[in-house]
Amino acid sequence: MLTLVTGVTGEVGWRFVPRLLKRTAPGDTVRVIVRDARRGERYAALGTEVVVGDLRDPEDVAKAVAGTDAVVNIAAAFREVPDDEMWAVNRDAALLLARAAVEAGAGRFVQVSTNLAYGTGRGRPLTEDDATVPGGPMWGAYAQSKAAAEEGLLALHREHGLDVRIAVLPFVYGEGDPHLAQSMQWVGGWAATQRLAMVHHADVAQALLRLLSAPGLAGRRYNFSDDAPVTAVELHRLNGVPVPAELADRVDPDPWYGLMSTGRARDELGYRPWYPSVWTARDAGAL
């Protein structure tokens, strides 16, 4: 089995590939695509095939996908990049990659998406059957482009039979990822009780491996999260930052924003988070 993984120089990708390599059977191959050959050296040393190219270039994509059995698309553009780049990477490149996968005969396509693509809260945990409702405090080009990618990929499933599986992730943290510290850039403006859905890198890898290997999941979304969303107060404490008094005077505008049910993943994939809360991860020394 030949599996192509994109986005391997990002925080999720470079933690996922070594875990994938540990799960490969004799004769299986993992291929990665990188834009900078130097950044591919670490993957070559791990035993992966390395393709140098850009996911926005059709020729590079065709070369990367040739002969593959499965694709795991982790590549994403977000935070501090222009909106047009988010659309180019998150929607256009994902659909280009998926169309190339159809032409190459790849049997499986795992897409990494975001809970922000659901838009506003529903007064309850979000489920995979919820349609996008634009809006919410973090709505913008990132969420919009990811939602559009999901829509396009599911259309390719319906029209061409591509075995698409979508992993919907919340805020990802752990294993030295600076994401947790970076959250302080915006959490300081929240209400004290405002909550953030989270998932640890180890559980992201668990989720993607389950989606990659399980049969009968074509055309379905799966939410993956831990069991205990963290409050703004807790995020300050985790980062060792004093809690501003004004947090207590603010009102959470959407108490269910981004919070997801993982019932489908539990029932159909046997998913259980190894780190049920950020505090579990902290106590295990896995932050």
From CA 71, how far away is CA 199, in angstroms rounded? Answer: 22
Q: What's this model's pTM, rounded to 2 decimal places?
A: 0.96
Q: What is the pLDDT of residue 31?
A: 98
Q: Where are the domains of the chain?
A: 2-173+199-225+260-274
pLDDT of residue 19: 97
Q: Which amino acid is at 40?
A: G
| Pick from 262, 278, 75: nearest CA to 174 | 278
Distance CA 149, CA 90 (A): 7
Closest CA to 196 of 248, 234, 250: 234
Cβ–Cβ under 8 Å, residues 117 and 161: no
3-class state of residue 178 by DSSP: coil
What is the mean pLDDT for each group of 10 consecutive residues in the chain (287 residues)? Answer: 97 97 94 95 95 97 97 94 96 98 95 98 97 93 98 97 98 96 94 97 98 94 98 97 96 96 98 98 97
| Phi, psi of 34, deg, nearest 5 | -135, 150
* Cα distances (angstroms) measured from residue 207 to each of 19, 92, 196: 12, 24, 19
Sign of the alpha-carbon dihedral angle for 224, 228, 234, 237: negative
The amino acid at 197? A
Exposed, middle or buried, 244 (CB in 10 Å: 0-12/13-18/19+)? middle
CA dihedral 257, 211, 159, 88 (to 10 degrees): 60
Instruction: Enter the tokens of residue 241.
Output: 């930052």
Instruction: Write the CATH number of the domain with boundaries 2-173+199-225+260-274.
Output: 3.40.50.720
